[in-house]
Structure 1
């Protein structure tokens, strides 16, 4: 029996598609040059693991002047870059709470930019527990953050249902005994919650 549902945030509750955003802002040619010439996702991994958001981006812009403008966009346009809310997933989270099912967040997210996102998207403050990698100084898919969640919430791994869009993050959770669902659409996530008996079809609409 599931006792709590654990939500990733990026591409589960808020779209995280930086390649698409940069293409829209800069055009495809410059976007491709930027992503080929600089490891943006590597920088985000450092931030997710606890490096300071603004300072890390500013340092990267200084050391990579050819891409300084693009890097500073990550800081200056964070909120428009992450503006697209996955509204059905938000409704699912709230429906679980109404049904008495605790909802947790487990997300790779920098501490500073997570605070900005909570201000822009107040539903991110509605979790019963929020495990944010930048605050915890550890990130998915490494095992330590999953162990920390288990220790904090006190729920047996097999009674946690985790929805995430990345196979590597889910694989670590499964190895620890968590139940998992790969969220490749809001519909599939809704059906997973119905299949587990956590929500009715009507509540999952």
Structure 2
């Protein structure tokens, strides 16, 4: 393996893509005919196995509906599934352009916690993803951040050492997990600061930990 590789590994939501659409939880709670607080609790409580591909969308939504004592009919499940996918579909066009611009200076990859069916929809709607050096979705690789297995997948897939990576995420716990794996890490707060960090890292003479 080359000792001078530079690989920029980006989180998706909260960095390149936007967080869940405002009002989405209320809309899905209404579809379930459930109070928003109870719905939100069930939505997140059953999410981890769905995010890592251990449960299908049907199993996930069936468990959410049963937790709310609601019938799990196929039409309701599909409406909830599509509404959920749409709620996570927005991207920051400025960040998308910036990430693409980096490919002439470094390898660029993505690591995101996202269910497999959401990943399929994102890949279909965002063709720029197909031009990255690697894309790792938790629902496809069966490991979600901050599990070390998610970071190991990326180093193995790119045949690179952890020190070759600068990992960018808006959640500090994920950045700390990447650093524990041996990667450099930066906690994302905005594009302007990120640009400064990446420019410094790409021009550094040796690998170092970027300031979180």
TM-score range, shorter chain: 0.7 to 0.9
More contact order relative to length (CA 8 Å, sep ≥ 6): 1
Match of 1:88 in 2: 94
TM-align CA RMSD: 2.8
> Could you tell me how far apart the structure 2 residues matched to 1:13 and 1:68 are?
36
> Could you tell me how far apart the structure 2 residues matched to 1:81 and 1:110 are?
13
Conservation of the 8 A alpha-carbon contact between 2:24 and 2:84: no
Change (3 A) 1:76 1:156: same
| SS across alignment from 2:145 | coil
Match of 1:155 in 2: 160
> Could you tell me how far apart the structure 2 residues matched to 1:177 and 1:151 are?
13
Match of 1:44 in 2: 47
Match of 1:178 in 2: 183
Deviation per CA, 1:117-154, whole angstroms, max 9, x where unpaired?
11122222222111111111111111122122212212
Match of 1:138 in 2: 143
- Unaligned ranges ≥5, structure 2: 204-212
| SS across alignment from 1:177 | coil
Change (3 A) 1:73 1:142: same
Quote the offset at 1:178 in angstroms: 0.7
Segment drifting more, 161-170 vs 151-160:
151-160
Match of 1:22 in 2: 25
Conservation of the 8 A alpha-carbon contact between 1:49 and 1:138: yes
| SS across alignment from 2:139 | helix
- Unaligned ranges ≥5, structure 1: 199-205
> Could you tell me how far apart the structure 2 residues matched to 1:41 and 1:132 are?
18
In the alignment, does 2:61 pair up with 1:55? no
Conservation of the 8 A alpha-carbon contact between 1:22 and 1:31: yes
In the superposition, the TM-score normalised over structure 1's length comes to: 0.80
| SS across alignment from 1:181 | strand
Moved over 4 A (4+): 23-27, 65-74
> Could you tell me how far apart the structure 1 residues matched to 2:68 and 2:38 are?
14
Conservation of the 8 A alpha-carbon contact between 2:38 and 2:68: no
Quote the offset at 1:67 in angstroms: 6.1
Change (3 A) 1:56 1:125: farther
